[in-house]
Structures are given as C-alpha cells and as structure tokens.
C-alpha cells in the first residue's frame, strides 16, 4: 500500500489534519461551538466553489471564506449566531452560492463530490506540505495560548473575573478553528467535517477528565480513525470518508459504554 505516492500523501496529510482537529475539537466542544464548525464547513464549500470559478486553487477559497466568516462572527458576537434562524439562513445562503458558483464554472459532478465528501486519496505532494505547514502553525498557536484558552473554555466566568481578554481569546480561537475546518474539508468533505472536529473530542471526554489528557486522547483517536479508514478504503475501494466516519462513531460508542460502565460500578 505504501509503495504508492497517493497513499503516502493521504496518510501524511490525514494524520496532520487529524491531530490538529482532535486537539482543536476539545476546545470546540468545551466552548459549545460545534454549530459554528458546521457553519464554517458550508461557507468553505462556497469558498472552494468560488475559487474554481475564479481559476484559483480551491483550498485558497476555502481558507479565504472561512477566515472571513471567523472575523465576521468575532465582530458580531457568537451569541448572534446561536440563534436558529441566523444559522439556517447563513447555511442556506452559502450552500446556494456554492451551487451557483459551480454552475457558472461548469465543473463536473466529481468536483462537487470531492468538496462535499472529501478526497483524501487525491491529495498531491504540494497539498501535503501546505496542509502539514498550516497544521503545525495551528498547533503552535494552541500551545502558545493554551493556558488562557483552557481557562476561558472550561471556566469562562473565572476567566472574565480574572481580567483575561476573553473577547480577543474568542476571536483568535475562531480564526484557528476556521483554518482547521478548511483543512478538514479536504479530508472528509464539507458535509462530514463534524467527524474529525467533534467525535474524537467527545470520545476523549468520556475516557478522561484532564484537559491535557483529552487533547492527547482526542488527537490519537482522530489519527487512528483516519489510518483505519484509509487502510479499509484501499482494500475495499470504498470511500475513505465513509470508513473514517464509521470508525470514529464506533470509537465514540465504545467510549460512551465504558463511561457508563464506570458510573454504574459501585464506589
């Protein structure tokens, strides 16, 4: 399997994105921002479609649109986007724009499928360096802001009372999250971005209570799901995104079962 360049690229890029999303996802779940991750993925689809229409690399459109939306959410405030009506209007608008951009660019259905459902085995060597570099930058930013982000995510009232710049922390994390979503779209697609952004983190919360342990376990589970999914996809010729999603879901249900068994156990 590893004699093929496309599988080597898929494993390297998939691992980089999985580790990054696994760690970012811990804070996404703690801050209750899973709905914004979903919003970013739809906006990213529209951005990739616009990039194709403009003759750019689709990844540049993904990053541009998700970054712009992160800045907008940071300025308007997360509470505004918690409204069901706001979310549904934004999702519908950007899905419609994405479809329009693809129609105007006359791209084939295969491109639509790769954006919506991911195309990890189609990643080129240049894409690998791009994805790995951005993943490292996001992880470095997380490491630098870890203490403040941890405090604000798991004890927001205490962080505000301590005088931390909570607005700046929130805006900065939204930017990191938008980059993570843009990268995850290339692996599992816009419609399945929840797979790497929320499921491993949810599994980790069932298995451990330490924030640092959650980060490590979440990253490991995300990477394991990608590796198993790629191996199964190679030998069955079925979509890698399907296997990655299925494996991560299975891990979550196992972790949930272990948590419930622990809680039922007499002290």
pLDDT tens series, the chain, 267 aa: 889 998 999 899 899 999 999 999 999 999 888 888 878 888 888 888 888 888 888 888 888 988 888 887 777 665 655 555 566 677 778 878 888 887 787 665 556 666 766 677 778 788 888 888 989 999 999 999 999 999 999 998 898 888 889 888 988 998 999 888 888 887 777 767 778 889 999 999 999 989 999 999 999 999 999 999 999 999 998 888 889 999 999 999 999 999 998 888 775
Residue 259 CA: distances (Å) to CA of 81, 157, 263: 32, 28, 6
At 136-152, the pLDDT tens digits run 999 999 999 999 999 99
Structure confidence at residue 70 (pLDDT): 84
Structure confidence at residue 76 (pLDDT): 67
**Distance (Å, whole) CA 137 – CA 99:** 32
Q: Is the dihedral of CA 19, 24, 26, 29 positive or negative?
A: negative
CB atoms within 10 A of CB 64: 17
| CATH architecture for the domain at 5-264 | Orthogonal Bundle (1.10)
């Amino acid at each position: 399997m590893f004699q093929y360049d496309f599988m080597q690229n898929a494993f390297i890029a998939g691992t980089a994105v999985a580790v990054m999303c696994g760690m970012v996802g811990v804070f996404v779940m703690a801050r209750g921002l899973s709905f914004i991750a979903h919003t970013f993925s739809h906006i990213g689809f529209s951005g990739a479609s616009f990039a194709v229409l403009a003759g750019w690399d689709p990844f540049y459109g993904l990053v541009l649109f998700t970054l712009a939306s992160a800045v907008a959410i940071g300025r308007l405030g997360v509470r505004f986007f918690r409204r069901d009506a706001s979310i549904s209007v934004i999702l519908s608008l950007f899905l419609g724009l994405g479809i329009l951009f693809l129609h105007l660019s006359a791209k084939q259905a295969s491109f639509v499928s790769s954006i919506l459902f991911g195309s990890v085995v189609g990643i080129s060597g240049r894409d690998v360096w791009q994805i790995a570099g951005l993943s490292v930058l996001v992880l470095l930013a997380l490491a630098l802001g870890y203490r403040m982000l941890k405090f604000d995510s798991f004890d927001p009232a205490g962080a505000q009372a301590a005088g931390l710049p909570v607005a700046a922390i929130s805006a900065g994390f939204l930017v990191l999250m938008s980059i993570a979503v843009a990268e995850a779209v290339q692996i599992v697609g816009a419609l399945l971005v929840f797979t790497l952004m929320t499921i491993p983190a949810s599994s980790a919360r069932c298995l451990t209570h330490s924030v640092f342990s959650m980060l490590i376990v979440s990253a490991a589970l995300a990477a394991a799901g990608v590796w198993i999914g790629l191996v199964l996809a190679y030998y069955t010729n079925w979509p890698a995104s399907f296997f990655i999603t299925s494996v991560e879901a299975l891990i979550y249900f196992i972790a949930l079962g272990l948590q419930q068994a622990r809680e039922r156990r007499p002290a």
